[in-house]
């Protein structure tokens, strides 16, 4: 090694009191040795003062632009009825007149109507807001509610109820005018910097966009440099949107940080919108949910993706949707993942491991959705959000947030996975909780511990996470975050000073590579 290196001195691994020194150079962990006071081999040294070191945390399912935009929308997540949601929007408009911009709709977000005593209707919003376009987005993103003026903007002028679901809703929302790219990029950068301060070093972005192009633009503009795996929607799959890359290959000029992700496809809807496709009907009728894509269509998309060297990510929430997805994985032989897997039939648990299908899950959904699951999946909740059962069956599990559906903070997922009682405030299927070590491992896309030879995506913590309760994990102190050995959050002396000084002569800039 040259002086282009940094020693992190006096760190501990979770669950251990042993002090070690970790050498970082050229973006990788070069050595891990017993701690030696006053170590000096020409490298810079940062005394971690006994803090705990874990690999960088990864969010396997994000809608980055939607998350950033939603931070500025009116929050109606606390609404207990349609009338309450309407009143929340009215109160904000009365107290914040700047929310009303000529020519733009008022957009609120976060409503969950599974327990509302009445159905949302456009008439209720018409009576309150008249010709002012008002559009509300559900907390799970699968449903929208608008008044007549808002429905006109969504392309459904004469819709009878003002409530749209699934593809019809998503197509309408996508047709609305979007903020300028530079504005949304700034919002995304602000949101990501907040997440990096919580230990996040990478995301898989399932935004409905040409993600490789979008993220290259953000990187060129100087946005925070973390790892981004760019998904592509099946409907837009082409050589243009993939740039000829296979899943896992990096985009030129991004220092390997931006990679081609999987093809994203939906089989069903969601629990809160009662469109998740289930073997058993929802209470009170024979409605089993919504089949967005049938077996033949899904198999054809899988064949196309496999021919391009791409993996596939299948959105499946209900147990019947998971069965269909697993059947198609078995028939096609493609590698990939099931996103959400919120309700899984007992006979399907072992198929994840047998087929090599990753269970990409979002533990905070159990915190948000357990009351709705109790109502609409009554008698089946023992196999909903079945993280311990999937782990016991040998499945490869990766955690995420589904932001903006849940917070873009990996500690929320970890806390929800290990301590439902502590976070919810009551018992709810404790048998599906996981040890903290497993939850950290599922949040790091690796073994959950720092090893020599690994990429230096690192997080220094102020506490040993293995000793904390759920609420304590949510607020755990993060001292510093590094991506490929470079500080993205924390004390300035954690930078690889030699690498920073020599970056201009050893490594071309992103702009130079384009």
Q: What is the pLDDT of residues 34-63, one digit of tens each?
A: 999 887 777 899 999 999 999 999 999 999
Predicted confidence at residue 136, as pLDDT, reads 98
What is the domain partition of the chain in residue ranges? 1-55+447-514, 73-174, 179-260, 267-399+409-443
Check pLDDT > 70 for residue 501.
Answer: no
Distance between CA 327 and CA 343 in Å, rounded? 16
Predicted confidence at residue 370, as pLDDT, reads 97
Predicted confidence at residue 225, as pLDDT, reads 94
Look over the chain and give the mean of its residue pLDDT values, rounded to a whole number: 93
- pTM (global) more than 0.95: no
Give the sheet arrangement for strand 28-34, strand by strand: 28-34, 20-25, 5-11, 44-47
Which two tokens mark 193? 């910097």
CATH number for 73-174: choose from 3.90.550.10, 2.60.40.10, 3.10.310.70, 3.40.50.1860: 3.10.310.70
The band of 422, judged by pLDDT with boundaries at 50, 70 and 90, is: very high
Is residue 8 within a helix (H) or strand (E), and if so which, with residue range?
strand 5-11
What is the sign, positive or negative, of the torsion defined by CA atoms of 240, 242, 243, 244?
negative
Phi-psi group of 81: left, alpha or beta (phi > 0 → left; psi -120 to 50 → alpha; rest → beta): beta
pLDDT tens, position by position, 223-251 = 999 999 999 999 999 999 999 999 999 99
Asked if 250 and 258 touch (Cβ cutoff 8 Å), the reply is yes
Q: Which residues contact 153 (CB under 8 A, 6 or more apart)?
A: 105, 133, 135, 146, 176
Check pLDDT > 70 for residue 359.
Answer: yes
Asked if 163 and 155 touch (Cβ cutoff 8 Å), the reply is no
Check pLDDT > 60 for residue 3.
Answer: no
Q: Hey, how many other C-beta atoms are within 10 angstroms of the C-beta on 95?
A: 8
pLDDT tens, position by position, 452-464 = 999 999 999 999 9
What is the sign, positive or negative, of the torsion defined by CA atoms of 123, 115, 172, 160?
negative
DSSP lists the bridge partners of residue 109 as 75, 137
Distance between CA 134 and CA 76 in Å, rounded? 13
**DSSP state string for 189-244:** HHHHHHHHTTTEEEEEE--SS-HHHHHHHHHHTT----EEEEEEEGGG-SHHHHTT
Check pLDDT > 80 for residue 387.
Answer: yes
- By the 10 Å C-beta count (0-12 exposed, 13-18 middle, 19+ buried), 320 is classed as buried
**Any idea of the CA torsion for 167, 168, 173, 175, to the nearest 10 degrees?**
110
Q: Tell me whether strands 5-11 and 20-25 are parallel, antiparallel or unpaired.
A: antiparallel
Class of the CATH domain delimited by 1-55+447-514: mainly beta
Predicted confidence at residue 83, as pLDDT, reads 98
Across 317-336, average pLDDT? 98
Across 393-403, average pLDDT? 98
pLDDT tens, position by position, 16-40 = 999 999 999 999 999 999 999 887 7
Q: Tell me whether strands 227-233 and 258-266 are parallel, antiparallel or unpaired.
A: parallel
Check pLDDT > 50 for residue 504.
Answer: no
Quick one: which of 145, 151, 160 has its CA closest to 85? 145
Across 354-373, average pLDDT? 97
Percent of all residues in the chain with a pLDDT value above 90, rounded to a whole number: 89
- Label residues 254-284 b or e (16+ Cβ within 10 Å = b): bbebbbbbbbbbbbbbbbbbbbbbbeeebee
Asked if 254 and 244 touch (Cβ cutoff 8 Å), the reply is no
Predicted confidence at residue 176, as pLDDT, reads 85
Predicted confidence at residue 4, as pLDDT, reads 59
Predicted confidence at residue 173, as pLDDT, reads 87
Predicted confidence at residue 495, as pLDDT, reads 55
What does the chain come to in residues?
514
pLDDT tens, position by position, 435-454 = 999 999 999 988 999 999 99
Class of the CATH domain delimited by 267-399+409-443: alpha beta
pLDDT tens, position by position, 142-183 = 999 999 999 999 999 999 999 999 999 999 988 888 889 999
Predicted confidence at residue 207, as pLDDT, reads 95
Predicted confidence at residue 105, as pLDDT, reads 95
pLDDT tens, position by position, 242-296 = 999 999 999 999 999 999 999 999 999 999 999 999 999 999 999 999 999 999 9
pLDDT tens, position by position, 75-110 = 999 999 999 999 999 999 999 999 998 889 999 999
């Amino acid at each position: 090694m040259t002086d282009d290196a940094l020693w992190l001195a006096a760190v501990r691994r979770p669950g251990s009191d042993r002090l070690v020194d970790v050498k970082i150079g050229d973006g990788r962990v070069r050595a891990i040795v017993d701690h030696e006071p006053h170590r000096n081999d020409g490298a810079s040294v940062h005394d971690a003062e006994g803090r705990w070191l874990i690999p960088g945390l990864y969010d396997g399912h994000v809608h980055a632009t939607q998350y950033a935009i939603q931070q500025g929308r009116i929050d109606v997540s606390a609404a207990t009825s349609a009338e309450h949601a309407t009143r929340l929007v009215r109160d904000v408009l009365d107290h914040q007149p700047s929310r009303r911009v000529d020519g733009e709709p008022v957009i609120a977000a976060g409503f969950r109507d599974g327990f509302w005593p009445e159905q949302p209707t456009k008439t209720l919003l018409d009576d309150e807001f008249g010709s002012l376009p008002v559009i509300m987005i559900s907390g799970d993103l699968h449903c929208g509610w608008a008044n007549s003026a808002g429905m006109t903007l969504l392309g459904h002028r004469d819709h009878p109820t003002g409530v749209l679901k699934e593809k019809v809703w998503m197509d309408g929302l996508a047709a609305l005018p979007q903020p300028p790219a530079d504005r949304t990029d700034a919002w995304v950068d602000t949101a990501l910097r907040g997440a990096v301060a919580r230990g996040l070093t990478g995301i898989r972005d399932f935004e409905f966009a040409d993600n490789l192009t979008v993220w290259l633009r953000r990187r060129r503009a100087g946005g925070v440099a973390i790892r981004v795996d760019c998904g592509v929607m099946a409907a837009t799959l082409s050589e243009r949107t993939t740039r000829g890359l296979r899943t896992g290959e990096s985009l030129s000029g991004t220092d390997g940080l931006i990679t081609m992700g999987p093809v994203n496809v939906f089989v069903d809807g969601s629990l809160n919108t009662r469109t998740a496709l289930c073997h058993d009907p929802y209470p009170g009728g024979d409605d089993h949910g919504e089949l967005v894509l049938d077996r033949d269509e899904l198999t054809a998309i899988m064949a196309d993706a496999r021919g391009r060297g791409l993996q596939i990510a299948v959105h499946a929430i209900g147990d019947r949707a998971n069965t269909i997805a697993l059947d198609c994985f078995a028939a096609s032989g493609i590698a990939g993942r099931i996103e959400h897997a919120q309700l899984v039939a007992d006979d399907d648990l072992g198929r994840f491991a047998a087929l090599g299908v990753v269970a990409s899950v979002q533990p905070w959904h159990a915190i948000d959705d357990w009351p709705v699951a109790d109502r609409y999946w009554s008698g089946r909740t023992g196999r909903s959000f079945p993280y311990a059962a999937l782990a016991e069956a040998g499945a490869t599990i990766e955690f995420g947030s589904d932001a903006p559906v849940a917070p873009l903070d990996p500690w929320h997922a970890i806390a929800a996975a290990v301590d439902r009682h502590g976070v919810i405030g009551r018992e709810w299927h404790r048998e599906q909780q996981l040890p903290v070590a497993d939850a950290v491992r599922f949040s790091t896309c690796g073994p959950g511990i720092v090893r020599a030879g690994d990429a230096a995506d690192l997080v220094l913590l102020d506490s040993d996470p293995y000793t904390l309760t759920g609420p304590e994990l949510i607020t755990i102190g993060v001292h510093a975050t590094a991506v490929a050995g470079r500080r993205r959050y924390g004390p300035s002396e954690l930078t690889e000073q030699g690498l920073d000084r020599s970056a201009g002569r050893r490594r071309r800039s992103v702009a130079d590579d384009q």
